[in-house]
Amino acid sequence: MSLMRFLPGTALAAALLVPTLAVAQQRPLPMKLAPRPTEPAITVGDLMTRLYQFADDSMGGRATGTVYHEKATAYLAAEAQRLGLRPAGDNGSYFQDLPMFRRGFATGGSVTAGGRTFRMGQDFAPMIARGSAARPLTAAPVIIGGTHGDSSTWITAEQARGKVVVLRPNPRVLQLNMRFLAVGADSRFAGAAALVVPAWEQLAAPFRSSLSQPALSMGEAPSTQLPPTLIASQAMVETLLASTEIQADLRFQSERAPARNVVAILPGSDPALRGQYVALGAHSDHDPLVPQPVDHDSLRAMNALRAKLTNALPEGQRPSPAQLAALHVNVDSLRALRPARPDSIKNGADDDGSGSVALLEIAEALATAPVKPKRSVLFVWHAAEEIGLLGAAHYTDHPTVPLDSIVAQLNMDMVGRGGRDDIKDGGAQYLQLVGSRRLSRELGDLVEAVNARRARPFRFDYSYDADGHPVRIYCRSDHAMYARHGIPVTFFHTGLHLDYHQVTDEPQYIEYDKMAEVARFIHDVALELGNRATRPTLDGPKPDPAASCRQ
């Protein structure tokens, strides 16, 4: 599930904001598992075989734009082909390529002034406004532009033109708002050579490192060039304030990055209905490698303590800094069990390895059934969900089947947990549903009816679907991109947990019995949608696809 669409904060902050977490128990599952042939039915063994491959360390976290994500999508496409699904990507393939680019400043960038050379990533980090390219910076005169955070002291646009504008420190600026640091086209500094902001010491070390890394974005290279903002150290700012000019080697680069959706179709069995589609989706990507490895077992133990503390507090209350500081992990006890395990891979076993392999299992069950659904089934494994639902946005903007032929979209993201170890009120029958009645009450009723026929019905938690809910689950996964086009959706989710966006989200912590039940349930909902005489009706006008998502 996308962290980009969450409230401000890190993965840890996300965990602390969810008040229903409990301490996770170690399960007697192996760290590695040899794959076995799968069978037509949706089984625990199949899900384990698939997930231990898909979320293995060899997949490197499956971040979009990396060879690891290419490897993961190659596995999905090979499985779709093996199951006899029809390719529905670009040019008769299973892949739909995304126009993804990696843009940023070349490594080794530097600024020299006053006889000193300052290094990118050590003394400063460059920023550029989203959707623009950076104006080359090689040499320019320096001018003092005023005081950081006090626009009444700033020089005019004409005075700034062509110069490196250096802002003086302001002791009253205690917190940075990163959105306002990059120079926009309407800024008075838009004509400058660069803007230097004294804020390096206010940034945490991991964030400093991430700022210097190229970022992924969609679309061809931007034509608008703007000056870079250099978030600089105190020493660098002091040197520049005493200088009249700089020499610099700061180059902005844009290169194509590999990114692709995997798209396949199971043709329907009814000639009158096979032109309509039940869409099933999951996202195949997760996170990049962690720059500094952490000890897997210590991190998981500490996160479990944080979760236990959070769970003991009143609803909505967060632990205080003093309470968090009082938490300690007995590392000696961990070392008695096994040596330290440095870990730098966010495997994403639950997020969203669980949804990706559950989708494969559903596809295998439907494709091998003696009678196929009357409607066709569209399977899409979306890329780039974690960086803003970009794969789903691209698919719905460039669909390979007519959008109005999709009768509903069922999205599965993080469907492998949600037991009592993760959710205070969780358990084997606990399942969160989001969006199922927002566009079509009929779809929500259908999901409920299918559940009622189960021998052990799920206990649905609709609380995260509430209008205005602060966690904004409705807007944070791929179904939102279908809903914006008026396609009824249901999002199946077993909940956030202590391993969310951590290196500890690994296959050995998944609840496979429950995951199999969730996959069978989604299979049955898809089958019901595929065979019923009419499509779910919309309860109102179609939304505006260009409007922002609202929880």
Per-residue pLDDT of 198-222, as tens digits, reads: 999 988 887 887 888 888 989 877 7
Does residue 327 sit in the same domain as residue 209?
Answer: no
Which of 233, 256, 279 terminates a domain? The answer is 256
Does residue 283 sit in the same domain as residue 165?
Answer: no
Distance of CA 487 to the CA centre of its chain: 22
Does residue 247 sit in the same domain as residue 266?
Answer: no
225 sits in which H/E element: strand 225-226
133 sits in which H/E element: strand 133-134
Does residue 485 sit in the same domain as residue 471?
Answer: yes
- Whether 368 is covered by a domain: the verdict is yes
| Owner of token pair 């696809």 | 545
Does residue 45 sit in the same domain as residue 115?
Answer: no
- Whether 1 is covered by a domain: the verdict is no
pLDDT tens-digit series, residues 119-175: 999 999 999 988 789 999 999 999 999 999 899 999 999 999 999 999 999 988 777
| Of 110 and 16, more confident | 110
Does residue 271 sit in the same domain as residue 227?
Answer: no
Does residue 322 sit in the same domain as residue 226?
Answer: no
Residue 372 has what pLDDT? 98
Q: Give me 14's structure tokens.
A: 């996300």
Contact 509, 354 (CB under 8 A): no
pLDDT tens-digit series, residues 463-515: 999 999 999 999 999 999 999 999 999 999 999 999 999 999 999 999 999 99
Torsion of CA 196, 202, 204, 208, to 10 degrees: 0
| Owner of token pair 């992924």 | 216
Residue 13 has what pLDDT? 36
Say what the pTM is. 0.89
Does residue 492 sit in the same domain as residue 525?
Answer: yes
Which of 256, 287, 321 terminates a domain? The answer is 256
Does residue 266 sit in the same domain as residue 209?
Answer: no
Q: What angle do CA 437, 280, 531 make, to 5 degrees?
A: 75
Q: Which of 81-95, 131-145, 162-176, 258-272 has the lowest mean pLDDT?
A: 162-176
- Whether 481 is covered by a domain: the verdict is yes
Contact 287, 69 (CB under 8 A): no
Residue 337 has what pLDDT? 85
- Whether 67 is covered by a domain: the verdict is yes
Query: If 0-12 CB within 10 Å is exposed, 13-18 middle and 19+ buried, where does residue 405 land?
Result: middle
- Whether 546 is covered by a domain: the verdict is no
- Is residue 234 scored above 50 in pLDDT? yes
CATH number at residue 338: 3.40.630.10
Of 508, 495, 484, residue with least CA distance to 461? 495
- Whether 542 is covered by a domain: the verdict is no
DSSP per residue over 414-435, as a string?
Answer: S-S--STTTBTT--TTEEEEES
Domain total in the chain: 2
| Owner of token pair 């559903």 | 362
Q: Which residues of 120-158 are buried (b: 16+ CB within 10 A; e: fewer)?
A: bbebbbbbbbeebbbbebeebebbebbbbbeeeebbeee
Contact 238, 144 (CB under 8 A): no
Provide the domain limits for residue 451. 11-98+259-531
Query: If 0-12 CB within 10 Å is exposed, 13-18 middle and 19+ buried, where does residue 371 land?
Result: exposed
**Mean pLDDT on 378-385:** 98
Which of 203, 228, 256 terminates a domain? The answer is 256
Beta bridge partners of 253: 104
Residue 90 has what pLDDT? 97
- Whether 541 is covered by a domain: the verdict is no
Q: Is the dihedral of CA 354, 359, 361, 362 positive or negative?
A: positive
Does residue 372 sit in the same domain as residue 508?
Answer: yes
Per DSSP bridges, beta strands 489-493 and 406-412 are parallel
Q: Give me 256's structure tokens.
A: 């194509």
- Whether 543 is covered by a domain: the verdict is no
Residue 432 has what pLDDT? 98
Does residue 447 sit in the same domain as residue 493?
Answer: yes
Does residue 122 sit in the same domain as residue 80?
Answer: no
**Residue 343: Cβ within 10 Å count:** 20
CATH number at residue 130: 3.50.30.30
